[in-house]
Amino acid sequence: MDINDAVSEERGTRLTQGLGLLADMGRDFADTRDIEGTLTRALTRITEYLDSEGGALFLLEDEGRILRCHASVGVIRIDGLTLPFDHGVVGNVVLTSQARIVRDVTSDPNFDNTVDNRTGFSTRSILCAPMSIKDECIGAIEVINKRGRDGRFEPADLALLEILCSSAAMALLNARLTASLVEQERVRREIELAAEIQRNLLPAALASDFPLFGLNIPARSVSGDFYDYFTLADGRIAWCLGDVSGKGINAALLMAKTASLYRCLGKTETSPRHLLARINDEICETATRGMFVTLVGGIYDPVADKVCFANAGHEPPLYHARDGSFREFEAAAPPLGILAVGDDTKMFPEIELSLKGGAFYVFTDGVTEGALASGEPLGAEGVRQALRDNAKLPLNDRIATIARLLDRDDGALHDDITLLGIDAARPAGTPSDEEQADLPFLYRFAARAELLQGARNAVRDYLTKKGAAENDANDVVLAIDEACQNVIRHAYCGMEAGDIVLEMALAGSHLIVDVRDFAPEIDDITLAPRKLDETRPGGLGTHFMREIMDEVAFLRPSDGIGNLLRMMKQIPVSPVVTKL
Amino acid sequence: MEHLIREDRGVLVISLTGDVDLESSPRARTVLLECVGQNRTVFVDMSAIAYIDSSGVASLVEAFQSARKGGNRFALVAVSEVALRVLQLARLDRIFPIHASLNDAFADDA
């Protein structure tokens, strides 16, 4: 083999090894979580590959002000060493983004011998290339003192180091990006958890006729607003609504603290001014700089229909009297968490108010300052108008309607929306007058004899509520019961019982009842009424139906399944007395 | 539905209480027919019937027919307003012997 062949073979081998090294590094970086370890492994292989005595990898840190050694191998161990970003050969390479060969450090003006002096190592030659992607340089790798031959690095070494460096830079950026995504995801999950815990701090929905109803719609996942209510041992209901200054996690944490204090202390301290004073001092004791809570807290007495409350720096609560007038209650005390008051319980004066069938609302400034679809803020007058417009809705629908004015599908919600209402006259879940008038009756049950009583009760309730006289209601109950019995005995006879669906509507004095089953079609001849001069049983039920109702007709259900019996009757109804 | 059977002055008095409907009328029928089967006068106290349907009425009809066949007296006593309305609808109010009270029923017997 002549010398030229040997050289070209060696070059070929080096090229293959170089590519192999590149590929290995790429793989290593791709599936590592341990970036430092991977960087050290990469540096070790580069240093070995370039046949050098040592190597070091520097990354820019502290917004590019310093270079820190993140990995070092071979004769120098300088992990953690920091240099000013423009210092030494490394600094020069990073600054210029140009790879460099320094064959003799003594003749290079950039060379800094501080490290040599500290380590006792003697640097002779340096090969250094920037780790850069596009125009961004994130650091550099240097290898020191070529072994063998004349101890000098060749341009080919530099070219290879440059390639390895840019590959390492790419891998490092990817790893950083992945790490930040993982971190973002972790934070997102934690905020999600925090939001769930927060939601659980709000009171659970109570019985539908409960006179209080609250709603909180956070603008972000966590909220600085809160409300609460709970029934005391004597039957009165403690309630509050508050707004923590600021937004985000810190506000959410103070919200959690205040809400917990209220719930805990509010069970024994039922005087709002004492309670607010105690919570105020608790918050002051561990105050986070500059944060405070505006809060209205009080007690509702459902027997007397009376509230007693204190307002600590919060948006004025609003009383909507039965005569349609409104009254505001400006805060007479500072927000909680600003100044400890000790025994001075006059700090949070109480207001007593008889609701007399009217409604009482507390809300956050997210409501008054919230933007309508037009971009205009809802404003205090807008809140009154909305309450006036929706006064006939049950409390929960009324509050949800106002929230919907602000929390639209366009996602323009900027602040948390929180509302709490007290209304014994139209509590949550009561149908409005309009709904009550149109509300159709729907009752579905399995066609079994023991379930007929429940169906009869439901039918009777509906008719009575709609103003039917007792005798008429009893008659209609009998007719419907007989129709259901026919279904049980004839339609589903001998089969596993399917369902019966009762639908009924009483509009004006016109009653329509549909009795639907899902059995095979039956022939209505089997349901012919008996002859009245016979006293034998059978057919009597159908007779009752025809006797009681004005019309009885078998119809084909529109979907062709089962049987539909329609009965109609004119019944006089007295005006419905609504609960006011 | 609940029922109570007692003997009063030689007569079996059956009191039916609550809803006599498709679910409970088979029991009412059994009770009525058993009493009638004893070949004695049977009064059915219907003052506490809250609801009665065609199956309940049919049980009364069957017991009444059975009593008549055996030559025994069978009467309805103190029929509640609700039950009376149903008997009227069935046009049975003039077929059953109906008495306003137990005393009236005994007086009629005398």
Within this chain, do residues A466 and A557 fall inside the same structural domain, yes or no? yes
Q: Under an 8 A CB cutoff, do B53 and A532 touch? A: no
Domains along chain B with CATH numbers? 2-101 (3.30.750.24)
User: Looking at chain B, which residue has its C-alpha nearest residue A470?
Assistant: B82
CA distance A127 to A89: 9
* A565 three-state secondary structure: strand
In DSSP terms, A363 is beta-bridged to: A419
CA distance A54 to A77: 9
Within this chain, do residues A392 and A472 fall inside the same structural domain, yes or no? no
* A307 three-state secondary structure: strand
For residue B98, give the nearest of B52, B41, B45 by alpha carbon. B45
Alpha-carbon distance values, A307 to A38, A155, A267, A275, A572 (Å) = 67, 88, 17, 15, 42
* B95 at interface of A, judged by CB pairs closer than 8 A: yes
pLDDT given at position A466:
85
pLDDT given at position A9:
64
We report the CATH number of the domain holding residue A58 as 3.30.450.40
ipTM: 0.93
pLDDT given at position A513:
93
* B50 at interface of A, judged by CB pairs closer than 8 A: no
Q: Which H or E element spans position A458?
A: helix A452-465
C-beta of residue A242 within 8 angstroms of C-beta of residue A265 = no
Q: Under an 8 A CB cutoff, do A488 and B21 touch? A: no
Å from B56 to nearest chain A CA? Answer: 10
How many structural domains comprise chain A?
A: 3
Q: Under an 8 A CB cutoff, do B95 and A450 touch? A: no
Within this chain, do residues A112 and A211 fall inside the same structural domain, yes or no? no
Q: Under an 8 A CB cutoff, do A538 and B58 touch? A: yes
C-beta of residue A428 within 8 angstroms of C-beta of residue A209 = yes
* B53 at interface of A, judged by CB pairs closer than 8 A: yes
Orientation of helix B54-70 relative to helix A540-548, angle to 10°: 130
Give the β-pairing of B98-99 and B74-77.
parallel
Å from A303 to nearest chain B CA? Answer: 34
pLDDT given at position A20:
76
As given in the structure block, the two tokens for residue A278 are: 């105690």
Of A381, A399, A422, the position where a domain reaches its end is A422
Does residue B60 register a pLDDT over 90? yes
As given in the structure block, the two tokens for residue B93 are: 């109010």
pLDDT given at position A3:
59
CA distance A562 to A495: 14
DSSP single-letter state for residue A289 = T
Q: Under an 8 A CB cutoff, do A456 and B51 touch? A: yes
CA distance A57 to A8: 31
pLDDT given at position A8:
64
Q: Give the DSSP per-residue string, A180-222.
A: HHHHHHHHHHHHHHHHHHHHHHSPPP--TT-SEEEEEE-SSSS
Give the β-pairing of B2-8 and A563-570.
unpaired
CA distance A110 to A545: 110
Give the β-pairing of A326-328 and A82-84.
unpaired
Within this chain, do residues A240 and A291 fall inside the same structural domain, yes or no? yes
The range of the structural domain enclosing residue A67 comes to 11-178
We report the CATH number of the domain holding residue A522 as 3.30.565.10
Confirm whether A397 is domain-assigned: yes
Going residue by residue through chain A, which has 580 residues, state the pLDDT in tens, using 9 for 90 and above.
555 665 666 666 666 777 777 777 777 766 666 777 888 888 888 888 888 999 999 999 988 889 999 999 987 788 888 888 888 899 999 999 899 999 888 888 888 887 788 777 888 899 999 998 877 889 999 999 988 767 788 888 888 888 888 888 887 888 788 888 888 888 888 888 888 887 778 887 666 678 999 998 888 777 788 999 999 989 999 999 999 887 777 888 888 889 999 999 999 998 999 999 999 998 888 766 678 899 999 999 999 999 999 999 999 999 999 888 999 999 888 999 888 888 777 889 999 999 988 999 999 998 988 888 888 888 889 999 999 988 888 898 899 888 888 887 666 677 888 999 999 888 876 655 555 555 578 888 989 999 999 999 999 999 988 888 999 999 999 999 999 998 998 888 767 778 999 999 887 788 999 999 988 877 654 455 554 444 444 588 999 999 999 999 888 887 778 889 999 999 887 765 444 4
pLDDT given at position A2:
58
Q: Under an 8 A CB cutoff, do B54 and A485 touch? A: yes
Within this chain, do residues A516 and A543 fall inside the same structural domain, yes or no? yes
CA distance A242 to A315: 10
The share of chain B scoring above pLDDT 90, in percent, equals 95
Within this chain, do residues A377 and A250 fall inside the same structural domain, yes or no? yes
Confirm whether A197 is domain-assigned: no
Within this chain, do residues A405 and A462 fall inside the same structural domain, yes or no? no
Q: Give the DSSP per-residue string, A60-126.
A: EETTTTEEEEEEEEET---TT-EEETT-HHHHHHHHHT--EEES-GGG-TT--THHHHHH------E
Which residues are CB-neighbours of A260 under 8 A, at least 6 positions away?
A201
User: Looking at chain A, which residue has its C-alpha nearest residue B83?
Assistant: A474
Confirm whether A115 is domain-assigned: yes
Å from A482 to nearest chain B CA? Answer: 7
Please tell me which of the candidates B54, B61, B91 has its beta carbon nearest to residue A482: B54
pLDDT given at position A533:
45
Å from B2 to nearest chain A CA? Answer: 15
We report the CATH number of the domain holding residue A378 as 3.60.40.10
Within this chain, do residues A437 and A418 fall inside the same structural domain, yes or no? no
Partners of A538 on chain B (C-beta within 8 Å) are 58
Partners of A478 on chain B (C-beta within 8 Å) are 51, 53, 86, 89
Confirm whether A183 is domain-assigned: no
User: Looking at chain B, which residue has its C-alpha nearest residue A481?
Assistant: B53
For residue A92, give the nearest of A81, A79, A105, A80 by alpha carbon. A105
Within this chain, do residues A408 and A509 fall inside the same structural domain, yes or no? no
As given in the structure block, the two tokens for residue A370 are: 């919230």
Does residue B16 register a pLDDT over 90? yes
As given in the structure block, the two tokens for residue B98 are: 């109906």
CA distance A410 to A167: 45
CA distance A485 to A449: 8
Of A146, A178, A210, the position where a domain reaches its end is A178
Q: Under an 8 A CB cutoff, do A450 and B92 touch? A: no
As given in the structure block, the two tokens for residue A411 are: 């996602």
| Cα A267 → chain centroid | 29
Q: How many helices (H) and strands (E) does chain B have?
A: 4, 5
Confirm whether A196 is domain-assigned: no
| Cα A307 → chain centroid | 32
* A469 at interface of B, judged by CB pairs closer than 8 A: no
Within this chain, do residues A31 and A120 fall inside the same structural domain, yes or no? yes
Partners of A536 on chain B (C-beta within 8 Å) are 61
Q: Which H or E element spans position A301?
A: strand A293-301
Within this chain, do residues A38 and A78 fall inside the same structural domain, yes or no? yes
Within this chain, do residues A120 and A92 fall inside the same structural domain, yes or no? yes
User: Looking at chain B, which residue has its C-alpha nearest residue A549?
Assistant: B89
Q: Mean pLDDT score of chain B, rounded to an integer?
A: 94
Which residues are CB-neighbours of A336 under 8 A, at least 6 positions away?
A242, A258, A276, A279, A280, A283, A292, A293, A294, A295, A312, A313
